[in-house]
Structure 1
Amino acid sequence: MRFAGKRAVVTGGASGIGRATALRLVREGAEVWIGDIDEAGGAEVAQTSNGRIHFQRTDVLQAAEIEALMHAADAAGGLDVVFNNAGAGGSRDSIDAISPEDWDRTQALLLRSVALGIRYAAPLMIARGQGGAIVNTSSVAALQTGAAPTAYSVAKAGVLHLTTLAAADLAQYRIRVNAVCPGFITTNIFTSALGISGEKRDMANGMIGQAAAQAQPLQRAGTSDDIAAAVAYLASEDASFVTGTRIVVDGGLTIGPRHSWDPKAPSMFAALEAFAS
């Protein structure tokens, strides 16, 4: 019960990583406010929690709605934890084809929303004087090429640097700021970005899970619960001396090229050795 008596905000809490994290925090004693544009999904999550999860429709493209969500949790006794998680795949266009409007919307959804989540949570935590914990969702796409489209990857890289800067700004108030970098997690973010729905969505998610399991050293698909566990750690007093950093939860995807962990995969060094012999 690491979060007994604490109040948390989770954006994008109606499904996927946000939903899993909200439920994890509740299981460990927290009262949680989730914000999402998915009203049906948000209401369903709230109904499963015996009154411990409160849903408030929140479009993170709207600053006033982010601010209102933070104030709702704070008004119940003080805001302790914020998980800035809401997002989607954004534009899939390459840098030579993306429109200015699509670029701006992707950055607003994935980076500006995180900045505003911190902006509106921090003064409430400061005024209360008891510190706090903020966790932001970044991605392995912030660490390497080829994991996601350009606009998405740039925004997620921005989240990492924002996390570091905010941690420096807010440490004097005992507010810790960290990030989590998911790898290929079996949520609907990929199918939504590709416009896949209905029965095809379940099939596509199964294919994504199988492909992910073969693309990384740990041969299983990542789940929302894997990310929720990392977020709960960063938000808890177990991480009271941890700020301005990130946890990569990717099954080893970013360890290196395949030959660094798969002895059957060819490598340039092995080819040179064979040539030399």
Structure 2
Amino acid sequence: MESILGRALEYTLKYWLKSFTRDQFKLQGHTVHLSNLDIDGDALHSSVGLPAALNVASAKVGKLEITLPSVSYVQTEPIIVQIDRLDLVLEENSDFDASSNPNSSTSSSAPAKGSGYGFADKIADGMTINIHTVNLLLETRGSSRRQGGATWAPPMASMTIRNLMLYTTNENWQVVNLKEAREFSSNKKHIYVFKKLEWQSLSIDLLPHPDMFTDVEEGSNLRDDDGAKRVFFGGERFIEGISGEAYVGCMITRSQFRELN
């Protein structure tokens, strides 16, 4: 059973991480330690359900610790994933045409995990994830031209989330063991997964874009009519330390079940 659980975890890591090799996976007792990881942007885009107008430019993890339950409790206790820092950069897709994709909300370029829903997916869906700090930078490509050739680039949005927790619940959003959480799906045509998301602090800042005011013709910053140079000094915080929670549910068709390869 331990080898099956290890293979399931390895399968999940291969899906989520870029350039992941078996040599990186070293299970010490019930714990795995990894560091300096690059998350696959397409996998993240698909799993989170980001709009097609956004690309994941980069997603990096500092330190990752995975703790497995003992074999006797694998059906009731979750795998615990702890991340010290997650740095995300999202950017507007310059090739996206909203008029030609009116109904498109997510990207279809994510790599497929395989045909069906197997043991590895079941284990992954039951994970509890704790991230100490999430740093998210959102960069849009909108711009406007002013008389004289100056281009204004919009500021970037920076989001900081602290102590982010994602864990499995039952259909009433109550924290229960995994066996009880899965009872709702018994004798149903679909598998239902219910998650609760909590965060201790959320802050959002507007930051100056490196090319916020650029003279595209002369390569220098322009001045307004009154002679004042257009400069965006520092950033501006408009949301400060807000805690909150959210609820997430998903449905998987039973016909998609498969065995772990």
Determine if the TM-score, normalized by the shorter chain, exceeds 0.5. no
State TM-score, norm by structure 2: 0.28
Structure with the bigger percentage of strand: 2
Structure with the bigger percentage of helix: 1
Greater CA radius of gyration, 1 or 2?
A: 2
